[in-house]
Structure 1
Amino acid sequence: MTVINLKYSDGLTELNIPDKNLVGILNPEDMEGVRDPLREVRNALDNPIGSVPLKELARGTKNVVILASDITRPSPSHILIPPVLDELNEAGVSDEKITIVFGLGYHRKHTEDEKKRLVGEEVHNRVRCIDHDINDCVYMGTTSRGTPVEVFRPVAEADLIIGTANLEFHYKAGYSGGNKSLLPGVCSKKTIETNHVMMIKPGTMPGRADGNPMREDIEEAGKIAGVSFIVNAVLNSHKEIVKVVAGDPVKAHREGTKYIDRMYKREIEEKVDIIIASCGGYPKDINLYQAQKGLENASYAVKDGGSVILIAECREGLGENTFAEWMLKAKTPHEPVEWIQKEFRLGAHKAAVICMVLERVKVYLISSMDDKLVKDIFFIPARSAQEALDRALAEYGENAKVLVLPYANSTLPYTE
């Protein structure tokens, strides 16, 4: 018997798993943060991937836009942007010709203090820093998948666009970073929604860029809009920079994803009957909206008709109003999947994504939520992970295979 302690809320929950059933415990393996983050950025700029140096691209330009992530993302813009500005200055581009645009997507606007915090006071005082306006976008073309590329006017009018971001798994677009700083970052509602509806297509999943329709659409949009160069930081779970990549928006991005894979992707021989997934405790299991990441990752390792045991306290319940509304009004797990195709709504999109998993597998939920609420949203309530495991083992038989993800929100199992 193997005894495992998994994080739940602020503490641990104990689980006894028969050795003959346990096929593995998958843990992420963080890389160490670099000692000198600014030097790492300069090194990336000196060795661009698939591109001429930024200095060469910038020569003779009169209107440069740097795309930066908003306050909801962990991108270290205050570290990435100063060396980019120095490079532009060396190419003869003065600060007055440079604008930093914060990509808000659907999110709220920043306060001036927040903008200062994102890029640092010195940069904020040096160059113009503005928020993307979802209602002031101009049409630049249409992707082969039919997404109209409508881009924030100041970005569309730039003669050089540089994207900055952090790189991590994205539950449907494969990874963050690359041209995602453009789409959804600085596009119109129509553009974002047309692209996001692709999340229900085959091939959209974390850890997959090539052959992922959503990611490929984003990259085509970046090309149409003219994103020329990216600077992306790979962060570990402590939000420290482990690598910076710069250069071509696709080639440099793919190089960066290798570091994410090394830390958080774990190969398994075959899918299993039962997967036990802890989101990693508080705050990762604060609500079901956040715990969705762990469920999504776990779903790639479980057989059709198998069971996921999701360990997530959900002290704040479902977590997001539109998400909660859709989960509670659905009479079957298939309904939100249908609804999202007719009307894309932010928040509700995660209801559709969760329901795609619930259509395929059983999900036991170990949480502090009321049993009736858990049943109303198509999960199976259990008082403990042990109770859920015992029930699942009884169902799948003595040779059932069990896999454990102690940090499911950041561990991606995959089969070749």
Structure 2
Amino acid sequence: MKLDFEYGLGTMQAELPDNTDVFISGETVKDPACIPEDQLEAAYLESLAHPIGMPTLTELAHKGTTVTIIVPDRVKGGEQPTSHRKLSIKYILKELYAAGVEKKDILFIISNGLHPRSKASDAKAIFGDELFNEFWHSGQIISHDSEDQEHMIYLGTTKRGDPVYMNKYVYDSDLPILIGHVQGNPYGGYSGGYKHSATGITNWRCIASHHVPSVMHRDDFTPVNGGSLMRHKFDEISMHMEEKMGHPFFCCDAVLDTYSRQIAIYSGYAKEMMPISWKLADKRTYVHWAEKKYDVLVFGMPQKFHYGDGMGTNPIMMMQALSAQVLRFKRIMSDNCVIICSSACNGYFHDELWPYLREQYELFQHDHMNTLPDIDRYGEYFATNEEYIRKYRFCNAFHPFHGFSMMSCGHIAEMNTSAIYIVGAQEPGYARGMGLKTRATFEEALEDAKKKFVGQNPNILALPLTYKRAAVHLCMKNPEEDCMDEYGHRH
């Protein structure tokens, strides 16, 4: 069969055996029904009127209450007029104003964590024209700056000993509101809830307690699940924030489908709300479909996706993207599984977005750096580089420590595959420098894999659009055949 896979700015065709299975998110197995657009307002008002585990906003707020509304950046969640961010803010503002809160006492914070601080164009895409024009020009939409020491606060450590730093605007506010997305995430199962606050409004020292090899290379991290040490750390860090603030976050999270449409809306206290939201999200995200384990996974990597332009050509970001798929698909991979992935791999690092990754890549090529964890000891050196920090703060670049979390994730692909082939690379040395095999075509890569790793009749799974759609976590059709359930229990 002939299939097209993402490649650079276009596609690349592969001719695969006719018995190849194909899975496309949102198509092969349909998502649970989303809320019809004409019923979204009622769904939001119902959720806000009956928050889980805490009072309503109208009970929590009054005239003089200072409010921070923490909103995720553009990495996920959709930007359509009916997106969760836009609608949740609309109805939350309605509740706050009804309680007597004044506009001047509301501050929106884009929770980019170590991601690039949002430009005006980003904020307009997130909030929409109306909200943007209402709050941007008065300085009431800001982007989290984890290196602005004046507006960060150290809250001590969790009982486990992890340092907790927090955005001081949020800490000082009377009512902190988290807008979140319950959408599949390779780091701990889902976005939203306590993951949002533990990563979005803190700094690199706090994030370095969980986005590191000692956490990400544990047996409980792969495949993706909601019971890993990383997930527990998210909860502990965020609950420590709540303890020090003296009150909980008020959350408004939406379970989203493949196209970032709302399946359900949940509001309230994260500790009680998250498990309830996950039960429904599990039906969309942990898809029990595979009837056999697969020896070969085939997919394509566009140049621009998820973290930005160059994600599919920058060799370090490519490794993170490959490992994210391993985390999602490990349950249906055979023990000797091979990945074949197209990438232009053309040397485009996008140095403005990731100014430190070229240096990091070159460092990895020398000085006894045999596997990706070997470079982890340079994390603080890069994270405190003043020029890279200035580019994060003022030039919309990723924070330099972000590259080390990418390296930590990137090693997971090597840990769980026999080989990874990059096909169509224009500068194949960059791929080989990350330990990847290179071939010109899908067909050549498959023939080589048959000879060396998977035999002449491998089970092949093709995954078109895998980086273009909100991903699922693929599972065996019979849950008893999964190596681990959704919550970290091994079978």
Q: Is the 8 A contact 2:66 2:106 kept in 1?
A: yes
Correspondence for 1:195? 210
Correspondence for 1:379? 436
SS at match of 2:36: coil
Amino acid at match of 1:296: A
Q: 1:176 and 2:191 equivalent? A: yes
C-alpha displacement of 1:65: 1.9
- Flag structure 1 segments of 5+ consecutive residues without an equivalent: none
SS at match of 2:198: coil
1:211-244 CA-to-partner distances (Å, cap 9, x unmatched) read: 2222221222222222432112333343433432
1:112-133 CA-to-partner distances (Å, cap 9, x unmatched) read: 5654553345545368333333
Aligned ranges 1:67-82 → 2 under 5 Å: 67-74=70-77, 76=83, 77-82=85-90
C-alpha separation in 2, matches of 1:111 and 1:324: 24
Identity percentage over the alignment? Answer: 20
Correspondence for 1:103? 111
Q: 1:25 and 2:22 equivalent? A: yes
Aligned ranges 1:15-94 → 2 under 5 Å: 15-17=15-17, 19=19, 22=20, 24-29=21-26, 30=31, 32=34, 34-36=36-38, 37-58=40-61, 62-74=65-77, 76=83, 77-94=85-102
Choose which of 216, 220, 239 in structure 1 pairs with 2:232.
216
C-alpha separation in 2, matches of 1:337 and 1:18: 39
C-alpha displacement of 1:364: 0.8
Report the TM-score, using the length of structure 1 for normalisation: 0.84
SS at match of 1:373: helix
C-alpha displacement of 1:353: 1.9
Q: Is the 8 A contact 2:88 2:179 kept in 1?
A: yes
Q: Is the 8 A contact 1:275 1:404 kept in 2?
A: yes
Correspondence for 2:459? 401
C-alpha displacement of 1:81: 0.8
C-alpha displacement of 1:368: 2.9
Correspondence for 2:372? 336
C-alpha displacement of 1:148: 1.5
1:301-332 CA-to-partner distances (Å, cap 9, x unmatched) read: 43344311123334564554544443444358
Choose which of 6, 13, 34 in structure 1 pairs with 2:4.
6
Amino acid at match of 2:70: L
Choose which of 298, 318, 342 in structure 2 pairs with 1:276.
298
Report the TM-score, using the length of structure 2 for normalisation: 0.73
Choose which of 249, 264, 267 in structure 2 pairs with 1:228.
249
397-406 or 124-133: which moved more? 124-133
Amino acid at match of 2:295: D
C-alpha separation in 2, matches of 1:222 and 1:187: 10
C-alpha separation in 1, matches of 2:222 and 2:89: 30
Over 3 Å counting, the alpha-carbon distance change for 1:73 and 1:403 in structure 2 is closer
C-alpha separation in 2, matches of 1:152 and 1:74: 22
Amino acid at match of 1:348: F
C-alpha separation in 1, matches of 2:292 and 2:300: 20
Choose which of 264, 267, 287 in structure 1 pairs with 2:313.
287
Over 3 Å counting, the alpha-carbon distance change for 1:138 and 1:13 in structure 2 is same
Choose which of 328, 351, 364 in structure 1 pairs with 2:421.
364
Over 3 Å counting, the alpha-carbon distance change for 1:274 and 1:82 in structure 2 is same
Over 3 Å counting, the alpha-carbon distance change for 1:264 and 1:43 in structure 2 is same
Over 3 Å counting, the alpha-carbon distance change for 1:133 and 1:372 in structure 2 is closer
- Flag structure 2 segments of 5+ consecutive residues without an equivalent: 243-247, 306-310, 381-400, 476-481, 486-491
SS at match of 2:153: strand
Over 3 Å counting, the alpha-carbon distance change for 1:373 and 1:62 in structure 2 is closer
SS at match of 1:203: coil
C-alpha displacement of 1:5: 0.8
What is the Cα-based RMSD across aligned positions, in Å?
3.2
C-alpha separation in 2, matches of 1:407 and 1:265: 18
179-188 or 104-113: which moved more? 104-113
Q: Is the 8 A contact 1:298 1:405 kept in 2?
A: no
176-185 or 238-247: which moved more? 238-247
C-alpha displacement of 1:406: 2.3
Amino acid at match of 2:333: V
Over 3 Å counting, the alpha-carbon distance change for 1:228 and 1:377 in structure 2 is closer
Q: Is the 8 A contact 1:170 1:205 kept in 2?
A: no
1:77-122 CA-to-partner distances (Å, cap 9, x unmatched) read: 3222121121123334333333222223124444556545533455
C-alpha displacement of 1:62: 2.5
